[in-house]
Amino acid sequence: MLGSGLLCAGLVLTGCSSGSGSDRPELKVDGAFMPQPVSDMAAAFLTVSNTGGADKLTSVTSTLSDDVTIHESKDQRMRKVSGFDIPAKGRLDLERGGNHIMLMGLKKQPKDGERISLRLHFEKSDPIKVELPVKPPTYNPAKH
């Protein structure tokens, strides 16, 4: 990792003035997919990796649904949460059986092979637009 202090020196105008430039999150999204929905509800999964300071996923929006929430799964039940922490130099995994993005009241049901888009909103970072491929309903990649 080349020093983020150096990088920060060039970014003074974009908010590194506090001298805590190394706290700036550096997020990257990959492995995103949506299993083909079998009703008017869908789930979406992805990984956010972070090479910078801590951030938080606070909400998700989509043109596919006006009701997108983020859920955690515990003891076979899911529960809406207000955000997911993205640790500094760590990652947030949304994966089957665990934390996920939930879309209710789909305006249309996308099919295997189509793509949908989501916009991820964070506490600190600018929103990230993600294109997700729609996969077969039982698709479950091994991530680790």
Cβ atoms 45, 96 nearer than 8 A:
yes
Residue 31, Cβ neighbours under 10 Å: how many?
15
Q: How far is the CB of 80 from Cu ion (least distance, A)?
A: 8
Instruction: Return the structure tokens found at 131.
Output: 């294109």
Which residue is closest to Cu ion by CB?
71
102 binds Cu ion (CB under 5 A): yes
Q: Does 78 bind Cu ion (CB under 5 A)?
A: yes
Compute the least distance from the CB of residue 101 to Cu ion, in Å.
8
Residue 54 sits in the site that holds Cu ion (CB under 5 A): no
Distance CA 140, CA 98 (A): 12
Question: Residue 24, interface with Cu ion (CB under 5 A)?
Answer: no
Q: What is the distance, to the nearest Å, from the Cα of residue 83 to the centroid of all Cα atoms in its chain?
A: 10
- According to DSSP, residue 65 is labeled B
Question: Of the ranges 10-18, 98-106, 116-124, 127-135, which one interacts with Cu ion (CB under 5 A)?
Answer: 98-106
Site of interaction with Cu ion (CB under 5 A): 71, 78, 102
